[in-house]
Structure formats: C-alpha cells, structure tokens
C-alpha cells in the first residue's frame, strides 16, 4: 500500500506495484493447482523425508523471470570459494556464491518473491505452521554456482528450519550435482560425525532439472550436492526461513559467515 513516503519515491512505488502484481499472479495460480490432497501428500513427504519437490509453487513464466534475474546477479557479483568447514566435519565448499546484500542491492523480483504473502501462505500450509523470515538476515537469500569437476556444496545442516531451493540451471544427471539427504539427524557443531551418520542411516538422492523447485527441512536434514564430474553449470537460489523450532534455540552461523560473508 502506498504511504506518503513511498508515494514520493518512484522506486518504492515500483516495488509496491511489483509485490501486488506478483501476489495476484500467485493467488490465481494456487487456485488452479492447490488441492487438499496435494497439501496432505506434500506435508506427509516433508515429515517423512525432510524433503518435497514443489515445482508447482511458481508458474513457469515467473520461474523463468526469477532465473534470468539470478543469472544476471551471479554474473555481476559472485565470488569463488574453495574451503572446508570445521563445524561440518571439514566438508568442502567448492563453488561461487552470492550473498543477501548482493540480492538486496541488485535484485527486484528475487527480494519481492521472498516477501510474497501468497507464496508464504502456500509454505505455511505444507509445513503446518507459520514459515517466517529467517531471523538472521544474511541467510535469507543466497545463491551458488558450480561449474568444474569436483565442485560441491559439501555435507552440512542449516542453522534454521527450512529452505526453498530454485534450480536455476542444472546439468544432466550423468554430470552429478544431485541433492543427497539424511533426514531426522541433529547437528552437533563440536562433533558433527558425518561419516558415522552416513553409515547409520539411509541416504536419499534426488535429481533436479532446470526449473525444478524443492522445499526441505534443513536443520534436521544432513545434506550435500553430489560432486560434479565434468564441466557444466549448476545454479541454485536459496530462500531460508525460520519456524517455531527456531524460537528457543541459541544460534551461531559459522557456515553462512564462511560461505557468503566476505
């Protein structure tokens, strides 16, 4: 809604109009694709696997526009890292990254969609409780790009309850880059025991093609991307959210600081 301050500022007015348009488009879309059976099936999968594919959350044209903006911001602002992180058992991060500040200063659709009330209420219904802005702003919106053999976002958990991942570009399955998950696990930052957990519990592996979107429970799902096996491009946009389980737990953010804040 236009306030006196925004009415005087054409940039804010444009952003308000974009948010209203986006919410209208998404509400129409959800009326067509959402049913009680869909919600029940997806929330059950989320509960059991800590993961669910939710490509229906955006109309294809919106996903295309979002992907174009992400690619453009990656071209302008990404930086390459090649590090190991102690709090996740020295698992590797070999990729380029874009941080929250980059998206807030360069993006329009990407920040608007994060705040979309229509999309958030879709996620609330699947989660079965409110899905909230990530309490730690730097984790809200990030992106990664992998391109060389060996590139990987190594084994880790998230500091907050959920992430919605948009697959902006993905190689064929023979190149690697699949998501691997070990659900219903807990992160002990002093002793992450990644290899023990890999031998104790089954690992689920999911392939995603360009345009796919998935939602997952990141604080209790140990996950990684399978290393790339040839030159190719894999780009994702990550929206991270908090939820009720985050309210009473003390937080530290070692992985975000190492990967996105430099």
Ligand X SMILES: O=C(O)CCC(=O)C(=O)O
Regarding 57 and contact with ligand X (CB under 6 A), the answer is: no
Among 46, 54, 110, 165, binds ligand X (CB under 6 A): 165
Regarding 93 and contact with ligand X (CB under 6 A), the answer is: no
Question: At its nearest, how many Å lie between ligand X and the CB of residue 179?
Answer: 5
Nearer Cβ to ligand X (113/165)? 165
Nearer Cβ to ligand X (54/118)? 54
At residue 170, φ and ψ (nearest 5 deg) are -140, 145
Nearer Cβ to ligand X (185/238)? 238
Regarding 225 and contact with ligand X (CB under 6 A), the answer is: yes
Question: At its nearest, how many Å lie between ligand X and the CB of residue 75?
Answer: 19
Regarding 185 and contact with ligand X (CB under 6 A), the answer is: no
Regarding 42 and contact with ligand X (CB under 6 A), the answer is: no
Question: At its nearest, how many Å lie between ligand X and the CB of residue 254?
Answer: 13
Regarding 54 and contact with ligand X (CB under 6 A), the answer is: no
Residue 195 backbone class (left: φ over 0; alpha: ψ -120 to 50; beta: rest): alpha
Name the closest residue to ligand X (Cβ). Answer: 238
Q: Answer whether 221's CB lies under 8 Å from 185's CB.
A: yes
Q: Is 226 exposed, middle or buried (0-12, 13-18, 19+ CB in 10 A)?
A: middle
Tokens of 88: 């996740």
Residue 38: C-alpha distances to residues 56, 80, 91, 122, 165 (Å): 10, 39, 36, 11, 19
Positive or negative torsion for Cα 150, 224, 253, 103: positive
Regarding 223 and contact with ligand X (CB under 6 A), the answer is: yes
Judged by CB under 6 A, how many residues of this single chain contact ligand X?
A: 8
Among 120, 125, 145, 153, binds ligand X (CB under 6 A): 153
Regarding 194 and contact with ligand X (CB under 6 A), the answer is: no
Regarding 78 and contact with ligand X (CB under 6 A), the answer is: no
Query: SS3 for 98?
Result: strand
Regarding 126 and contact with ligand X (CB under 6 A), the answer is: no
Instruction: Please identify which residue in the block is written with the tokens 């009473």.
Output: 248
Distance from C-alpha of 77 to C-alpha of 97, rounded to nearest angstrom: 8
CA-CA-CA-CA dihedral for 75, 76, 82, 85, to nearest 10? -120
Regarding 160 and contact with ligand X (CB under 6 A), the answer is: no
Kindly list the residues in this chain that would bind ligand X in the complex (CB under 6 A): 144, 153, 165, 179, 223, 225, 236, 238
């Amino acid at each position: 809604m236009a306030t006196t301050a925004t009415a005087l500022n054409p940039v804010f007015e444009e952003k308000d109009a974009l948010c209203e348009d986006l919410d209208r488009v998404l509400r129409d879309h959800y009326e067509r694709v959402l049913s009680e059976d869909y919600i029940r099936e997806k929330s059950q999968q989320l509960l059991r696997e800590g993961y669910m594919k939710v490509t229906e959350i955006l109309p294809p044209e919106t996903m295309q526009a979002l992907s174009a903006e992400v690619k453009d911001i990656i071209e302008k602002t990404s930086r390459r890292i090649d590090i190991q992180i102690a709090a996740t058992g020295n698992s590797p991060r070999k990729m380029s990254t874009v941080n929250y500040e980059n998206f807030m200063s360069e993006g329009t659709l990407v920040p608007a969609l994060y705040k979309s009330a229509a999309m958030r209420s879709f996620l609330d219904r699947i989660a079965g409780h409110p899905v909230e802005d990530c309490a730690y702003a730097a984790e809200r919106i990030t992106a990664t790009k992998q391109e060389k053999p060996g590139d990987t976002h190594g084994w880790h958990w998230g500091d907050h309850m959920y992430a919605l991942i948009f697959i902006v570009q993905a190689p064929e399955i023979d190149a690697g880059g699949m998501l691997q998950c070990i659900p219903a696990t807990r992160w002990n930052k002093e002793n992450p025991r990644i290899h023990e957990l890999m031998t104790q519990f089954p690992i689920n592996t999911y392939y995603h093609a360009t345009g796919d979107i998935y939602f997952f429970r990141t604080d209790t799902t140990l996950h990684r991307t399978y290393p790339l096996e040839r030159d190719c491009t894999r780009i994702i946009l990550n929206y991270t959210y908090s939820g009720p389980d985050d309210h009473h737990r003390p937080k530290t953010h070692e992985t975000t600081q190492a990967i996105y804040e430099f």
